[in-house]
Chains A and B, each alone.
Chain A
């Protein structure tokens, strides 16, 4: 279980402190698939980062009783000078898992072939996403954070991601940020809509999507 209690998050900006999250209360249980909707800059990714522990909440508490992944397909942890293989080794080392077991899977899933032995710096963004996703799948978590992951990659790769994530790991908890209608509808059973720094909860996709559409129609100022 992951429990957020009265979580707020502020950032200093040139025009003073900006409050992005205004008192979020949220509980995610094992196996739940939670979809997050909201406008650009509403705080979707901030919430994901606070839950993942990449950022600390300004006030409030985050309790994690499940292991939580890093944001899926996120490529920032890669070192551009290191090869794909070396980056995989690094992840295996910090998570204390055996490298040889994972290598075969990453080779097979990423289909990067000889490029795995080249520095990540020469990869295209699509290749990088393939590597990142493949590496993400080598560590087992109770809860996966998925922040607009499927935006990259070609169709065949996306399809394989879907199988790997939503079929093989359907029993895991997931937190999915996406603007894609199709994507959220089929996979999530809870929906959160960001409005003015707080979240509204919905069980039904069509309902949340109507609200989301209405929200988009309103003029937005940052």
Chain B
């Protein structure tokens, strides 16, 4: 059987930059989804089951021990907003670290660039965290365990800003990890250290003034506060400076894009 040949224009990667990058991103996204979640087992379900288990566990633990978490906010919604936010800024970098090392052979296809690999993983992570967040809220709401957000638009704004921060951080750490193995070793413990300060388990109002000032240098804490204000509205007093986060994100993104651009990647057989 004769093979059908494609007109050469289609084999020229540079014919239309944006179109090509769109194609590559689409292909990488599907590839990532299939390899991460597979086709046969529980697959995508884990995306929701894991945070759901966590939320249920925290709710159970805190209800049982009546731990004071600094406010009388509904504990389930508090746990969901905190954990979902943490998943995003922690997992995006985790997925981008060593992402190129494992995909070097893809670079034989000239149209696939490191930025595409990072973006596809970031998008997938963002989609996953967002879907699991929405699904959790709806699921717990169906059982009257949580109320719906008071200001969904603010919540969305905070969520997107947090995702932006996660994306920038992910690309910086991803690019660094190609140069030094330390990143791969140090990010997990470092992210665990950051976890208690990131607002997953407290609200800023419960902190002493001095601690508030210092901890609010963490962009993710500002975002979590903003997200929670959107969620709980008048029930809490939130502390944040979103202008600071936006400026931080802009600088971070610039650094990230420069680092990814300057990265020299050599494709490798096998």
Binding site for B on A (CB under 8 A): 49, 52-56, 67-68, 70-71, 74-77, 79, 81-82, 86, 89-91, 93-97, 101-102, 104-105, 108-109, 137-142, 164, 168
Contacts and interface: CB of A to CB of B under 8 A. Distances in A.
B15 to A, nearest CB: 9
Interface residues of B, number: 38
B247 interface: no
A74 B269 contact: yes
B179 interface: no
A17 to B, nearest CB: 15
B112 A79 contact: no
Contact of A94 (B1, B109, B264): B109
5 contacts: A54-B107, A75-B270, A76-B270, A86-B31, A90-B31
A82 B35 contact: yes
Given A75-B270, A82-B35, A95 B10 contact: yes
B34 A82 contact: yes
A96 B23 contact: yes
A74 B108 contact: yes
B31 A82 contact: yes
A68 B34 CA distance: 29
Contacts of B6: 95, 97, 138-140
B189 to A, nearest CB: 29
B208 interface: no
Contacts of B264: 56
B182 interface: no
Contacts of B23: 93-94, 96
Contacts of B106: 77
A86 B34 contact: yes
Given A77-B109, A90-B27, A95-B11, A164 B3 contact: yes
Interface in B1-46: 1-8, 10-13, 19-20, 23-24, 26-27, 30-31, 34-35, 38
